[in-house]
Structures are given as structure tokens and as C-alpha cells.
A and B are shown apart, each in its own frame.
Chain A
Amino acid sequence: MLTIEATDLARRFGDAWALDGLTMEAEQGEVVALLGPNGAGKTTTVRLLNGVLTPERGRATVLGMDPRRDGAEVRRRTGVLTEAGGLDDRLTLTENLVSHARIRGIPPAEARRRAGVLLERFGMSSLASRTARGLSTGERKRVSLARALLHQPEVLFLDEPTSGLDPAATRDVLNLIGGLAEEQGATVVLCTHFLAEAARLCRRVAILEAGRLLAFGPPVGLAAGMWSGLPVELDMGGTADAGRIAQLRAVRGVTMAEPSASGARVVVEDREVIPVVLGVAMPVFSVVPRPPGLEEVYFALTGRPAADTAAVDLRAVSAS
């Protein structure tokens, strides 16, 4: 069942389009990533889908409602973690949670009970009666996330939920997001700079740049549409020299060959070509299929050179 559907959604501020023609969808229980550097239009998308901003073009439905017309009802059933977190430093952690719960119409006693349970779950109960001033970035994120979950939302918009978190906290938050989608059937829209966490959690991704949608779909599907052939990694016990690479390129059915740390990276038209390749490249210790991942798809779409790291921070990319 489709929970979120956006068609040609667009919004501009002044003369600049913050979002220009976003078409995407998300099913119940699915985690969808909005990927892109700062200024890509991720936060604008969340604001449009939650009825905070009005689109200038296009339409959207969330939980079957039009956020422009039924904004309050949409927001009643969604939860949002904003990029800044939005905790009031003058309120205690419990007060920060309870005040939002009260605005949502949850009775005071129930609001306090839920706040206690969630702060406990996020390991913040020992600080519950302390004001938010002085909390670390990670602590603020956890409290803000707890606040977004208070009313058991059917749709969660998470804007950079792991930025500023240490690896352990990042792992916990990603596990939690996965659990919310899988076990509770919540639909999660994850705005992130981090390709690795999107690749881990999301079946489909929307890649945005400067307000434009570059692609939407599963990374494997996007890759299939961008590249033909089967990429394989040849382990040759060391980087292949130029002569060996030239030999590989000369094989009929090899469309690409380049040196890698362990040997060579080769793209063949089909599996039948692999024995021929092995004959040319001997000795080969292993042949591992290496389909392009989200990282390759992202950098190919944006035309930027890929970094050679497992998790790429797109803020660094956009700043360079």
C-alpha cells in the first residue's frame, strides 16, 4: 500500500527552485532515502510532504491525504526529526517531550509515561529532569528522536538522524529505524548525506541535487539502467600491470578493465566471457562479481569522482 506519493513536486524561494519536480513514492513499512548534499532539497521535501510548505507545482499524498489541504491531520499521524533537533534548552528533557505530546492532545499523565519509556529506551532517563542545555549532539539527537516517536507515528521523516553521532550511537539509531519499519510497519523517509546508511536501510532511494531529482528507485535497478554487463573483481595477488590490463581489454566481450588493489576490475558482456578472461589473466586466485553499489550510482549520476571509502559524507563532497 502506498503511504507517500509525490508527483512533480516543486517549490521555489524567490527565483531559486529549492525543489524542482520531485516524483517519488513509499510503501507502508518501507524506508526510502532522500540522498544529496546540502541544498539538494531534502528538507524542503519533508516540509512539503508534511504540509508545512505549500508546493508551487505538483501534488502529494501522505497516508491518502493531501498535506496542503489536510495538513493538521497529516501531521497528527507523522513524526519529524528536524536536522537541528529543536530541543528547547530551557526545558528539561521530560518537559521537551511532554510539551509536544500535550500539543498533540495526549493527556498529561500518559504523556509523562510515554516520555519516561522513550527516554529509558534511548538511554537518557538519567538526564530526564535536566535541562537540554549542554547535551552533546548525540544526546540531543536521541532525545529528539524519542520526541518524534511519542505518538507512534505511521510515517517518520528523519532529517539527518545520524549526523554528529558516534559509531555506536549511529548503529543503534539505524537498528531502531530498521526495526520501526519492519516490526511496526512505519514508513520512514530518511534524509541523509551518508550513502552507507542509505544502502543498508533503504530498498529505494531518491537522489537529489540542487533541487532536481536525478533518479528514484532501487540502487540495483538504477545501476542496471546505467551500465550494461557484469562487473567482476579479479584477485591476481597484486595490482595488474599495464600490459596485463591491455591484454584484458583486448578480449572480445570485455567492455572495461582497470587495475585495482588486488588485481583488476573488469566488466564483461556475459558470464561466458569469464573463462576467456581467466586464460589471459593467469594466475587468478578468485573471481568475485562486483555489481555497482549505491555509491557508484550516486557518483555516476552526479558526475563527481567517487571517494575510495566505505561511507561517504556528501557534505565533504559538496564542499570540495
Chain B
Amino acid sequence: MSPSGRHDWNAVCAVVAKDFTAIRRSKAVVLPMLFVPVLLLVVLPFGIGLVARAAHPGDLHSILSKLPGGVARPILRYPPRQQLVILVDGYLLAPLFLIVPLMVASVLAADAFAGEKERRTLEGLLHLPIEERDLFYAKVLGAWLPAVVISWVGFAVFCVVANGVAWPVVHRVFVPTALWIVMIVWLAPAVAALGMGVMVRVSARARTAQEANQLGGAVILPLIFATVAQSTGLLLVSLPIALGVGATVWAIAFALLARGASRFTRDRLAATL
């Protein structure tokens, strides 16, 4: 951002394009970014869906009906033969989906911030006529955009896999539901931003991307567990609550990123070189 307050979008886009090109060529970054989404969004829904489709749910109905607050009501609406596969692929795997934006954003943020120090390329960037705020935006966008795109593409693939594997018993498209859409469009980008916010702070202290990932893991892992614990329930609550949860995650992410941006100064960065 120039002293006049205007962003130099050419410079921002140039940094983002540079980072995209570099990421594409890095196996250490690309492989986890592909492996985890494929495992969580293709292999697991397909395998577990196949098992659930073939299983006889037995007393699943009695278990679901005992859950508090009628949270199982959306599932109990379906015929018993469809309940297990819908429960598994439509609800229980949802938490895993949110791991994707969190993990991808974290890996890319570590590479974008701490990785520049590790590769000794940061000083060259600091000597360029790009404002600190623009460089920060470029680094955040360069990690956040791929995380969101990968999550959305992964979700599209997941929908095809989940509906495909359940089709013989369900005979219709059952994901995405309205709450799934909220999770994908509203919550997943927020979770990616949250991962970014954490890693920006962590990367300021780390000297290598690996160190940032290790330090960040201490923060990200509890977040993953919290996500896993809460997101299935999120799919069973009302739309306004889901939107509210998303808004809260956005607020925390923005607070972390704003704090990170305020500390992202040439002087501070150069002092750590």
C-alpha cells in the first residue's frame, strides 16, 4: 500500500504469481497438499460409504432416536436402509473436510513466510519497492487462495464420490445440503484464514518452514480436534447458528491476521535475518 493508501495490485499479483510457480515445483509442498485431500475426500468417503451401504444398520434407529435435542432428526427422516450411509458420508465425514483448508493454508503459509527466510530470499524481497502491507497481502493471498480452491475442488469431488457410492441405496443426490453449502462457502475459507493467522504469527519466530510447521502444529492440532469435535454437530444445527459459528471463526482469523500484519514490518523482518 502506498503512502496515499492505494494498493499496488501489480506488485501483489507478481508476488502471488511467483509464489504459485514456486509452490507448483516443490514436491515437499505439493505432495501433502494432494495426498491429504485425496485421502479425506475420496478414499475415505468411498471406502466407508461402501461398507455403510452394505451394512445392516440394526439398532441404528434406536441409537439415533436417543440423541439429545433431536439432533438426529434429519437422519431419522430417511428410510432405515439409507440412514447409515447418509450418516457416514453426509455427516460424520464432514469434520474431515475442514481439515483440508486448515492443513493446506498452514503448509503454504509456513512456506510463504518462514520459507522465505529459510531459502534466504526474504532479504531480496525487502529491498524491492513493494510496501509492507502489500507484501503481507500477497503472502496471505498466495496461501489462502490455493487452500480455498483446493477445498472447493475437493468438495466437488467428494460430492461426486459420496453421492455415487450411496446411489444404489439412496437413489438421489443427498450432498450438498444447505448446511454443507454454508460449511464450504462460509466456514472453509474462514478456517483457512484461521490457519493462516496462526502460521503468520508462528512463522515470525521460526527460521525454517519445517520449524514453523512444527511450532504451528502445536496450535493447529488442537484446532483440528476442535473442528472434528464440533463440525458434525454444526451440520445438525440450524442455518443461522452455522452462519454465526462461521462469523466467529472469521472474526478470530481477522484478529490474528491484523495482529500479524501490524508486526510485518521491514525493520522487524530484517532484524531476524
Partners in one complex: yes
Chain A interfacial positions (CB closer than 8 Å to B): 13, 47, 50-54, 71-73, 75-76, 78, 80, 82, 84-91, 95, 99-100, 102-105, 131, 147, 157
Known contacts A87-B121, A89-B119; is-contact A82 B127 (Cβ 8 Å): yes
| Residue numbers in A under 8 Å from B10 (CB-CB) | 102, 105
- The answer to whether B124 and A90 have CB atoms under 8 Å apart is no
| Residue numbers in B under 8 Å from A86 (CB-CB) | 120-125
25 CB-based A-B contacts, threshold 8 Å: A52-B126, A52-B266, A52-B267, A52-B270, A53-B266, A71-B266, A72-B2, A73-B129, A82-B120, A82-B124, A84-B120, A88-B18, A88-B121, A89-B119, A90-B25, A91-B21, A95-B21, A100-B128, A102-B18, A103-B18, A103-B125, A103-B130, A104-B11, A105-B8, A105-B11
- The answer to whether B123 and A75 have CB atoms under 8 Å apart is no
| CB-CB contacts below 8 Å: B162-199 with A | none
| Residue numbers in A under 8 Å from B123 (CB-CB) | 52, 82, 84, 86
What is the CA–CA distance of A73 and B8 in the complex, to the nearest angstrom?
13
What is the CA–CA distance of A103 and B120 in the complex, to the nearest angstrom?
18
- The answer to whether A72 and B25 have CB atoms under 8 Å apart is no
| CB-CB contacts below 8 Å: B88-104 with A | none
What is the CA–CA distance of A104 and B11 in the complex, to the nearest angstrom?
7
What is the CA–CA distance of A76 and B177 in the complex, to the nearest angstrom?
52
Known contacts A52-B266, A100-B124; is-contact A75 B17 (Cβ 8 Å): no
| Residue numbers in B under 8 Å from A78 (CB-CB) | 127
What is the CA–CA distance of A131 and B25 in the complex, to the nearest angstrom?
10
A286 to chain B, nearest CB (A): 51
- The answer to whether A104 and B129 have CB atoms under 8 Å apart is yes
Known contacts A52-B126, A53-B270; is-contact A102 B14 (Cβ 8 Å): yes
What is the CA–CA distance of A76 and B10 in the complex, to the nearest angstrom?
14
| Residue numbers in A under 8 Å from B130 (CB-CB) | 72, 103
Dominant SS at the B interface?
Answer: helix
Among B21, B120, B122, B127, max chain A CB count under 10 A is at B127
What is the CA–CA distance of A80 and B126 in the complex, to the nearest angstrom?
10
- The answer to whether B267 and A103 have CB atoms under 8 Å apart is no
The answer to whether the Cβ of B26 comes within 8 Å of any Cβ in the partner chain is yes
A243 to chain B, nearest CB (A): 59
Interface string of B10-42 (1 = CB under 8 A from A): 110111011001100110000000000000000
A161 to chain B, nearest CB (A): 14
Contact partner of A75 among B22, B119, B122, B129, CB < 8 A? B129
Name which residue of chain A comes closest to B123, CB basis.
Answer: A82
Among A72, A73, A82, max chain B CB count under 10 A is at A72
B6 to chain A, nearest CB (A): 12
Known contacts A52-B270, A72-B130; is-contact A95 B119 (Cβ 8 Å): no
| Residue numbers in A under 8 Å from B14 (CB-CB) | 99, 102-103
Among A53, A84, A103, A131, max chain B CB count under 10 A is at A103
Known contacts A82-B123, A90-B26, A102-B10; is-contact A72 B15 (Cβ 8 Å): no
Known contacts A72-B2, A75-B128, A82-B127; is-contact A53 B119 (Cβ 8 Å): no
What is the CA–CA distance of A87 and B120 in the complex, to the nearest angstrom?
8
- The answer to whether A99 and B18 have CB atoms under 8 Å apart is yes
The answer to whether the Cβ of B211 comes within 8 Å of any Cβ in the partner chain is no
What is the CA–CA distance of A80 and B3 in the complex, to the nearest angstrom?
23
Name which residue of chain B comes closest to A68, CB basis.
Answer: B267
- The answer to whether B128 and A91 have CB atoms under 8 Å apart is no
List 8 tightest A-B contacts by C-beta distance, closest first.
Answer: A86-B124, A102-B14, A76-B129, A99-B18, A84-B120, A80-B127, A75-B129, A90-B22
- The answer to whether A75 and B127 have CB atoms under 8 Å apart is yes
What is the CA–CA distance of A72 and B124 in the complex, to the nearest angstrom?
14
| Residue numbers in B under 8 Å from A90 (CB-CB) | 21-22, 25-26
Known contacts A54-B267, A88-B119; is-contact A102 B129 (Cβ 8 Å): no
Name which residue of chain B comes closest to A84, CB basis.
Answer: B120
